[in-house]
Amino acid sequence: MAEFTKTQGRYLAFIHAYTNLHGYPPAEAEIAAAVGVTPTSVNLMVKMLEKKGLIYRQPGQPRTIRVIVPENEIPAWSGKPSGVRMTGGSKRNVVVPMVPPSSLYVLTIRLLGGPISEKFANKEVKRQMEIRGDQTLEVAGEV
């Protein structure tokens, strides 16, 4: 049986749930937003989880985290906030609303026309954006 703390279990639960939902592991920034900590804290935790043999990853390669704890030992992801997280290196606390990863929507945006520099001429320009289920594109006060 794998041994890990409650906090380590939250990380494992999110990584496992996100991977099952998307088919690929989360980035450390996504883990930070979900768990409610800084990306630096996630990086330290990921290294700890790897050292304890709870995950496997390829350092320097994005999205390679794989939980190697038996599935029946991974806690369920609740999506509940752990409280607050620090933002932008400042010392002010910002409450981060949390939702389960099943409420993430991925939008792919492609530039179809408009003024384009020569650098991007004849190239596909696209970006992906993830939106939580509790977010909207509505601007407050506009109808």
Which tens digit of pLDDT belongs to each residue from 4-56? 999 999 999 999 999 988 899 999 989 988 888 888 899 999 999 999 999 99
Domain presence at residue 140: no
> Whole-prediction pTM value?
0.58
Domain presence at residue 138: no
- Residue 124 tokens read as 């596909």
Name, in order, each residue with C-beta under 8 angstroms of 43's C-beta and a sequence gap of 6 or more: 28
Domain presence at residue 143: no
Q: Are residues 86 and 122 in the same domain?
A: no
Q: Are residues 95 and 122 in the same domain?
A: no
Q: Supply the range of the domain harboring residue 119.
A: 102-132
Total domain count, the chain = 2
Task: Return the pLDDT at 86.
Answer: 39
Mean pLDDT of 122-137: 74
Q: Are residues 15 and 75 in the same domain?
A: yes
Is the separation of the CB atoms in 57 and 65 below 8 Å?
Answer: yes
Q: Are residues 80 and 121 in the same domain?
A: no
The conformation of residue 28, written as its DSSP 8-state character, comes to: H
Domain presence at residue 139: no
Name, in order, each residue with C-beta under 8 angstroms of 7's C-beta and a sequence gap of 6 or more: 45, 82
Per residue in 94-121, pLDDT (tens digit) is: 444 444 445 667 778 888 878 888 888 8
134: left (phi over 0), alpha (psi -120 to 50) or beta: alpha
Domain presence at residue 53: yes
- Residue 9 tokens read as 């279990």
Domain presence at residue 141: no
